[in-house]
Each structure stands twice: as structure tokens, then as C-alpha cells.
Amino acid sequence: MGAVSARGPSVGDILRTAALNAAAAPPATFFYGGQAVIEGVLMRGRRQYAVAARRPDGSITVLSERLRSRVYTGRPWSLPFFRGAASLWEMLALGMRALQWSANVQLGEDAEISPGAMRTTIGISIVFGLGLFIGLPLLASSLLHHGAPQSVGSVLIEGAARAVILLGYLFLIGLGKNVRRVFEYHGAEHKAINCLESGAAVEVENVRLASRFHPRCGTGFLVVVALVSVIVFTPLGWLFWPVRIACQIALIPVVAGVSYEAIRGLARIRDRRFGRIALVPVLAAQRLSTREPDDSQIEVAIAALAAARAGDTGEVGENYATVP
């Protein structure tokens, strides 16, 4: 019998595991997921999403709506690798919609954010994100790499810079009081889903004991994106930077698709030694983007999850509800 290697999993191992799990996954498998919003939590079910937010008066209000976009209902977008691009769309479109609603809950009817203002905010956010995670790493590579600018070495430095910038960005924004509140709701979202997936009753007492870290977290997704982008973007190292940037932007859906399957694959084997080792950076990054929530925040996460799950039992539709 050959010797067993003691080294950790390679990038190739991770991607092969993702591909095998994606191919073997039962079509009926569904994972609940969500995001933190302003004083609230977004949860997505199979057929509808729900957002719950704590009003200034202390009550919880819940919005639930059917998922009608072809991104959610079209068969191609549920297939392996394609669903990664759908997930990226969800993070942007559905996340921003939920964020706008939660902001309006806090502002009240007399000071609501208009759709035009939100579209402008989305546009600025996209430009900022592209500049921060594509433009700035490229600039860092040009400053740190002393060889030919069109080389594989420059791409590797660019990838390392992207990972450092991501972690630094999360650390810096987490210093703000308001963002810390969002990170606490992020922790509540993870705890509620972990509790559900453990088979325990989704109640405050059980959710409180669950982990605030989850292998399918969006933060972990971004960590894997930074890793996968190095592999996908390496062949672009020989291109001049304007062409390289254009190609990187065009390949974002490809990177998202591969990264999404890697996250799903690793989540399925989280209890195996390989999975635990490979998930270390994914879970470690969540120390920056989650905080321990209090019971009032857990209640909001539970309300959002319950409303999202209600759509899978036939109670689908547009409705608002307020919980004292």
C-alpha cells in the first residue's frame, strides 16, 4: 500500500471535488441561504424569498414575495456552474432590493429611498467593486512585480493582492458601529440556517447554540473567488492591461460558477478531513464578516427563515406581516 501524503488539499483537489459533487448532487437538493440587511435578514427559499427587519418601535416586520425571475425558475440556471452566475445575480439584484426595503423600514414612509436613488447606489457600488477588486490588484501587481508586466508572475501577485484587499476591506468596514450591527445579523442568519440543517427545532434557544460560521457563506464565496480567479486569469497574464481588465470582467460569471460549485462541494464534505482542511480559509474569513448576535437579532433571522420556508409548503405570495 502506498504512503499517504500529509500535505493539505491542492487547488486542483478542491476543484475536482466541486465538479464531482456538482455532478452527483440530487436535483431535489435545496440549500436555504440569505444575507444580512439593515436591522434585518434576507432568506431565500425554493419558491419565495422573505426579508424580516426590526422596526424602530421594536416590532418585527416581514416581507415575502414569489421568485419570478428566470434566474430562479429557468432550468438552465439550476444546472451546475450556471447556478453560480445566478447566485452572483442574486447577491446583487435581490440583495439590493432587500437592502432598500430594510432601509425604508428604518426611515419610515415619509423618508423612503426612491428606486432611482437605489439604482444609482447599485451602479456606484458595482464600479467601486470593480475598481477595488480588479483595478487595485492590477495596480498593486504593476508596482510590486519587477519583471515583464505581461507574465504569469504578475497575475499571481495580482491574485494575492486581491485576497489581501478583500480581507483588509472587511476588517476596516467592520470597525464601524452600523456595519458591526449588520455583521451581527449576518451571524444570526448563519445560526438559523445551521440550526435548521442540524435537524433541531428552529427556536431561539437552539439557534443561539448554533455556530455563526457556515461553509456556504457569501464571504467564503468571495475567498474562493479570489483563489479561482488566479487560475482562470493566469492565461491572461500575457495580455496588455486594458485587454486583461476587459477579459477579467467578461470572465466574472465563469469564476463565479466554478467558485459556487467549489463552495457547494466542500459544504457537502464538511465532516470529512479533506473538507475540514479545505474549509479553513472559508470559515476563518467569516470571523471578519460575522459577529455573535443577541436574541432579538436571532428572532429576526428566525422570522425571515420561517417566511421563506412557508413558500415551500404552498403559502406563496406577496404579503407583509408585523410581529409584536
Note the pLDDT of residue 323: 52
pTM of the model: 0.79
| Residues of the chain above pLDDT 90, percent | 34
Note the pLDDT of residue 37: 94
CB 224 within 8 A of CB 250: no
Can you tell me the distance from the alpha carbon of 280 to that of 274, in angstroms, rounded to the nearest whole number? 10
Specify the residue for cell string 440543517.
197
Instruction: Look over the chain and give the mean of its residue pLDDT values, rounded to a whole number.
Output: 82
**pLDDT band with cut points at 50, 70 and 90 for residue 295:** very high
First and final CA of the chain: distance in angstroms?
64
Mean pLDDT for the stretch of residues 199-221: 93
Mean pLDDT for the stretch of residues 168-184: 93
Retrieve residue 30's grid coordinates: 435545496
Give 70-106 pLDDT, tens digit per residue. 776 777 777 888 887 777 777 778 888 898 899 999 9
Greater pLDDT, 131 or 313: 131
Left if phi > 0, otherwise alpha if psi is -120 to 50, otherwise beta: which for 314? Answer: left
pLDDT at 110 over 70: no
